[in-house]
Amino acid sequence: MSKLATYRRSPIALIVLLFLGLTFTGTAYAALQPTAPADAYSASNASEDVDDVEEGRKLFLANCASCHGKNAEGNGTAGPSLAGVGAAAVDFQVGTGRMPLAAPGVQAPANPNQVNFSQQEIDQLAAFVASLGPGPDVPDEEYTDLENADIANGGMIFRTNCAMCHNSSAQGGALTRGKFAPDLMGVEPSHMYSAMLTGPQSMPVFNDATITPQEKENVIAFIVNIEEGGNSFGGHDLGSIGPAGDAVFIWTIGIGLLIGAAVWLGRKAA
């Protein structure tokens, strides 16, 4: 003990302490770091069918490489690198018709009528992109079938995390400079899940540590409930855009009807 104490003021002591401190912190961080469920990130693509990857590569070269580069390495502003975006990103972007991009713009709009790939082709493309680097995989069926989902819980999560951009009725909202959070009516549950997982365009990533898979399913169930008329009470919703719709209605049809009645009464003799 006394021998150790004599080294206390040695110049080496500082370096040793620093080394120990950093090692301890790093080890503790690695041990306590929040880890996502292993199945969400397909780190190893060993199980992927090599044929799928090869077919996907061909599709990629024909349809995507002009912007994203032959090896999906990215091409400046034309298209980002796709290494690590995962199969979920491909499933979302191609499955909703956003990619291949129809025209350059501030944001790729959903284009459900322009999905020119079969689901198999999309899967092959996804397999190829997933082979480039580890990334989120397409969502598990278990979390997109909406069985046993808690709508009320989904609503709370939606209002906290999503409503500020997508509107509390998921009708969409404006972002800066022409970008927008799209209307979520009619979007496939699996695409909504992938969007949360991959954070396309301006959307933040909600990984499984932020919103668990079960909570994601709840959110999707909440949105689908709106789509199926779960909020439709009291008559026509005027587009569910809040007081703006009410104002337009009352200043046109509402007061129009009454002015019509007033004119009729004014012309009517006693």
**Residue 241 beta carbon to another protein: minimum distance, rounded to whole angstroms:** 5
Distance CA 89, CA 127 (A): 11
For another protein, give the closer residue by CB, 43 or 106: 106
Q: Which member of 164, 204, 209, 228 binds another protein (CB under 8 A)?
A: 164
Angle at 194 between CA 127 and CA 97, to 5 degrees: 75
Q: Which member of 36, 65, 146, 163 binds another protein (CB under 8 A)?
A: 163
User: 64: how many CB neighbours lie within 10 A of its CB?
Assistant: 24
User: Residue 170 — left, alpha, or beta (φ > 0 → left; ψ -120 to 50 → alpha)?
Assistant: left
Is residue 74 within 8 A of residue 87, CB to CB? The reply is no
Inter-helix orientation angle 151-161/213-227, to 10° = 100
Instruction: Kindly identify the residues of this chain, within the stretch 200-259, that bind another protein according to CB under 8 A.
Output: 222, 225-226, 230-238, 240-244, 246-247, 249-251, 253-255, 257-259
Instruction: Kindly identify the residues of this chain, within the stretch 176-195, that bind another protein according to CB under 8 A.
Output: 176-178, 180-181
Tell me which stretch binds another protein (CB under 8 A): 28-36, 89-97, 120-128, 172-180: 172-180
- In angstroms, how far is the first alpha carbon of the chain from the final one? 115
CA–CA distances in Å: residue 215 to residues 141, 156, 158:
14, 10, 10
Instruction: Kindly identify the residues of this chain, within the stretch 82-121, that bind another protein according to CB under 8 A.
Output: 106
**Amino acid identity, residue 165?**
C
CA–CA distances in Å: residue 40 to residues 78, 106, 136, 198, 213:
29, 30, 6, 11, 9
Q: Which member of 65, 83, 165, 203 binds another protein (CB under 8 A)?
A: 165
Q: Which member of 134, 173, 199, 210 binds another protein (CB under 8 A)?
A: 173
Instruction: Kindly identify the residues of this chain, within the stretch 6-65, that bind another protein according to CB under 8 A.
Output: none
Eight-class DSSP state of 268: S
Tell me which stretch binds another protein (CB under 8 A): 49-57, 89-97, 184-192, 260-268: 260-268
* Binding footprint of another protein on the chain (CB under 8 A): 106, 151-153, 155-156, 159-160, 163-169, 171-178, 180-181, 222, 225-226, 230-238, 240-244, 246-247, 249-251, 253-255, 257-259, 261-263, 265-270
